Amino acid sequence: MGCGRIGTTIARDLYPEFDVLVADVNPDSLKMLNKKYNIPVEVCDVNDVHAFPKLLSNFDLAVCAVPGFMGFQTLKKIIEAGIDVVDISFFNENPFELDELAKEKGVTAIIDCGVAPGLSNIILGHHASISTLDSFVCYVGGLPVERELPFEYKAPFSPIDVIAEYTRPARIIENGQQVIREALSEREILNFDGFGELEAFNTDGLRSIVHTMNVPNMKEKTLRYPGHAYIMEGFRAAGFFSEQEVEVKGKKVRPIDLTSTLLFECWNLTPDDKEFTVMRIELTDARSTVRYTITDRGDLENEMSSMARLTGFTCTAALRFMAKSNELPKGILAPELLSSSPEAFEYVIKYLKKKGVSIEVQSHLNE
């Protein structure tokens, strides 16, 4: 479900091995996908109480790749249909509210299975299963190579979902306690080999690991070129990201709808744009620190952005593991719990390396 950039990448990756159907409410996106890659498509509205369950009944596995604002309800309907699913919609609601339903329906639902959350959780879950961790820090961002003012940014997915990162309060774990920080706060400059200086700021990327991982210090920060967060902070302060309707010349409008529509043109990532995704993960226990540096520069020849590749291939790796495994528990399965199985962790990492993703691991003893 979902024919955006990432949904399309997922479908293309699965199509050679699986019988794939891509469903979306937008016929134009589907026609383009079918014409270019000959992948079967079907126009379907997830809110159609008859057509959607009928569509699902033909399949063994589903991927929920719809925008975040409709992710929870779409995932719920997939679970109600009794279909195992991997979800990358990153909705605001608590996915564990669907745990009892999933167990009742005999469904395994792997949620938040993208880059961060997703791959970052998988790495954390693996290390937490073999060591008592003191801290987990994740820095991650997808950026264009060419820096164009004023934003120096291009969105690899829906602008409204990007904006959510700038507005949703960030949950952080400090000394074993959950604390709330404002999104875009606590900015710091980091240097990345091959990419230069990037600015990191708080975002709400921990998600499920707030509830599932017993690590006393955890945080996630988004990476952008220096200065981008300051501009976004101004937009937010002025109300451009507000979901509350305002009246303009007798008509009511939500500022966020107008802003995301305008930013879509400013942030539109074209197939010709060179871009990259970089993620740094640091895991510390009593003796040592392990650092993962994961990078991808996209695939211009095949029209796949780096973020679409990293998100899509993490998702398809999990789906492939699900397809071949009969031992995954029923219910809502967070990525960090999936990777407590060494086989699942190794499978995902090997698959990403096979697809050309760079994964470097360094470790050193703590002083």
Residue 157's pLDDT is 72
pTM score: 0.92
Domain 119-302+361-365 belongs to what architecture? 2-Layer Sandwich (3.30)
Residue 323's pLDDT is 93
Residue 160's pLDDT is 83
Residue 191's pLDDT is 95
Give the residues across from 172 on adjacent strands. 179
**Can you list the residues of the chain whose pLDDT is less than 70?**
none
Residue 326's pLDDT is 76
The pair phi, psi for residue 83, each rounded to 5°, is: -110, 130
Tokens of residue 129, six digits: 């299963």
**DSSP, residue by residue, 124-138:** HHHHHHHS-EEEEEE
pLDDT tens digit string along 59-88?
A: 999 999 998 889 999 999 999 999 999 999
pLDDT tens digit string along 168-209?
A: 999 999 999 999 999 999 999 999 999 999 999 999 989 999
**DSSP, residue by residue, 205-244:** --TTHHHH---SEEEEEEEE-TTHHHHHHHHHHHTTT--S
Residue 355's pLDDT is 96
**Which stretches does DSSP call E strand in the chain?**
22-24, 41-43, 61-64, 84-87, 108-110, 133-144, 170-174, 177-181, 188-192, 196-202, 217-224, 246-248, 251-253, 275-285, 288-296, 331-333, 358-365
Contact 340, 327 (CB under 8 A): no
Residue 170's pLDDT is 95
